[in-house]
Structure 1
Amino acid sequence: MLDMLTDRCATMCLLVNLALLYPRATLLFQLSMSLDVASHWLHLHSSVVRGSESHKMIDLSGNPVLRIYYTSRPALFTLCAGNELFYCLLYLFSFSEGPAVGSVGLFRLGLWVTAPIALMKSLISVVHLVTAARNMAALDAADRAKKK
């Protein structure tokens, strides 16, 4: 859990700085922060309530997107690193285009490459949130049925 907490905190700090550097996109950064924290917290909470040993241990018969996300180390690494790299490049890009690669700045080129990865990571966060909410609803329904 500590690794997840430190990841969330570091990302939030970077996103707050990006909101200051790109005031027109502040709402998008706020939405990204909210989605990131809410999806991870609810996923972790539902894992703990279900009795899982780790938030990374999922029901393999469950959501196919999350199954790939958690069982494929290359996919997990690419999405997480690509997402963080996108935000880091956005930070650097606010100061400079970066060294030229052909006729394009390196930071701009990196943003074009990592933007789809960051978008995919956000979509997976939505899947996390929806799946965890459904799991919690099912657990609540089962608890209520036991009490009747």
Structure 2
Amino acid sequence: MSENIFLFVPNLIGYGRIILAIISFYYMPTSPGLAAGSYILSGFLDAFDGHAARMLNQGTKFGAMLDQLTDRCGTMCLLVTLGHFYPKYMFLFQMSMAIDISCHWLHLHTSVMAGQASHKSEAANCNALLRFYYTSRPMLFFMCSGNELFYASLYLLHFTEGPIIAGMGLWRAMAYGLLPVGIFKSFLALMQGYYAALSLGAIDVQERKEAAAKKE
């Protein structure tokens, strides 16, 4: 009997992440506590689906795509809300969305075309900084969680300053402190897009050479 990969434990966790994300989207305009809690929990479970996939040997291409799409769509929808809450910075949120979606998509698509097992593998990342980013789990966790907490703190700051610590609200302090993480995360995404474009161009050149050779 063939395996039903859609019922693998990591994918079940992925479905749970999607449900939590949808709950957070629905309550974002009116219920910051419920929305933020659901959003952060959805992101936190991201670490568990990967761990389950490795522990249970249930890593699948479907699961990797589900994980990637949940991450990208979750961040995008939160940024849409932030653009509404902070119209003065709408352009910056739009650019963040554009960079995040386009560069990740290009990197993932190029990795598949190049025959790489994963867009996170060393072979799929020729740049040393990107290799370290994807192969160092502490680095990847810090950057991804820090980026999401930066946006989450901006979201919560729209409603309240939060607990006052050393004369400053917690959400404002987190937003200031994690701003460099958000900027660096976008920089890494741009690097992904740049090197993916170079790799895709190399694939085009090779395919054109092979096509020309066949005509001869």
Q: TM-score range by the shorter chain?
A: over 0.9
Determine if the alignment matches structure 1 residue 64 to structure 2 residue 125.
no
- Equivalence map 1:126-141=2 (5 Å): 126-141=190-205
**TM-score, normalisation: structure 1:** 0.96
The 1-side partners of 2:72 and 2:131 are apart by: 22
The 1-side partners of 2:183 and 2:197 are apart by: 21
User: Which residue is 2:180 aligned to?
Assistant: 116
* Structure 1 residues 66 and 23, CA gap change in structure 2 (3 angstroms): same
Amino acid at match of 1:19: G
Shift of 1:67: 0.8
Per-residue deviation, residues 67-109 of structure 1 (Å, max 9, x unmatched): 1111111111111000000000000011111110011111111
Shift of 1:53: 1.4
**TM-score, normalisation: structure 2:** 0.67
- Identical columns (%): 48
- Equivalence map 1:1-148=2 (5 Å): 1-59=65-123, 62-148=126-212
Q: Name the count of aligned residue pairs.
A: 148
Asked which structure has the greater CA Rg, the reply is 2
The 2-side partners of 1:109 and 1:26 are apart by: 21
* Structure 1 residues 12 and 61, CA gap change in structure 2 (3 angstroms): closer
The 1-side partners of 2:154 and 2:111 are apart by: 33
The 1-side partners of 2:209 and 2:104 are apart by: 28
- The SS at the match of 1:58 is coil
Shift of 1:60: 7.5
* Structure 1 residues 101 and 67, CA gap change in structure 2 (3 angstroms): same
Amino acid at match of 2:130: L
Moved more, 73-82 or 52-61: 52-61
The 2-side partners of 1:127 and 1:72 are apart by: 17
Shift of 1:42: 0.3
Amino acid at match of 1:70: Y
- The SS at the match of 2:190 is helix
* Structure 1 residues 112 and 45, CA gap change in structure 2 (3 angstroms): same
Shift of 1:57: 1.3
Per-residue deviation, residues 27-63 of structure 1 (Å, max 9, x unmatched): 1111111100001100000010011111111328820
The 1-side partners of 2:91 and 2:195 are apart by: 25
Which runs of 5 or more residues in structure 1 are unaligned? none
Amino acid at match of 1:77: F
* Structure 1 residues 9 and 61, CA gap change in structure 2 (3 angstroms): closer
The 1-side partners of 2:167 and 2:88 are apart by: 27
